[in-house]
Structure 1
Amino acid sequence: MTDNGAEIVHEDNWGLKKLAYPIQKKTTGYYHLTTFKAPGEFINKLEVEYRRDERIMRFLTVSLDKHALAFSEKKRSGAFNKNKETKTEEVAQ
């Protein structure tokens, strides 16, 4: 990805999960989430490579708006967990 002008923002390995329905007679799959910034023409190249790779059963590429990006950043930084800790402390006092 980085060789073609993309900037990787965050990677998250979800690991081996059970699929909602069998795909190519397989019931489990390895999930990986990659958040990246890239020019629009890069997406077509990436999806062609995903289609050619036999190891990839399914993929989903989505474009995030500014609100989704802000939410994602807060979630990664743990801001939501800090709010829960503060509320728990208030209740305990």
Structure 2
Amino acid sequence: MKDGIHPNYREVAFVDQSNGFQFVTRSTVQTKDSVELADGRKLPLVKLETTSESHPFYTGQQKSIDNLGGRVEKFRTKFARLGIKK
């Protein structure tokens, strides 16, 4: 691999603002905030609105909006009152 073309990765703490879930991973993101972890490390901090801990798809709380049948059935029920004119 070529030298000098790859980004410099560093450990960064990410925190979910909706529930306080926090995780550390390597990233190149630039941030002005920092946080001190329980083990004494001081890392850059990125605040997120949602993560896998709070998103309905990952938590199993996502609801299906297609509970009346398929698209054809929705069309038929929507236009059933108009009837077919010949």
Question: Normalised by the shorter chain, which TM-score bucket?
Answer: under 0.3
Higher strand proportion, which one?
1
Larger helix proportion of the pair:
1
Determine which structure has more spread, i.e. the larger CA radius of gyration.
Answer: 2
TM-score, with length taken from structure 1: 0.23
The TM-score normalised by the length of structure 2 is: 0.24
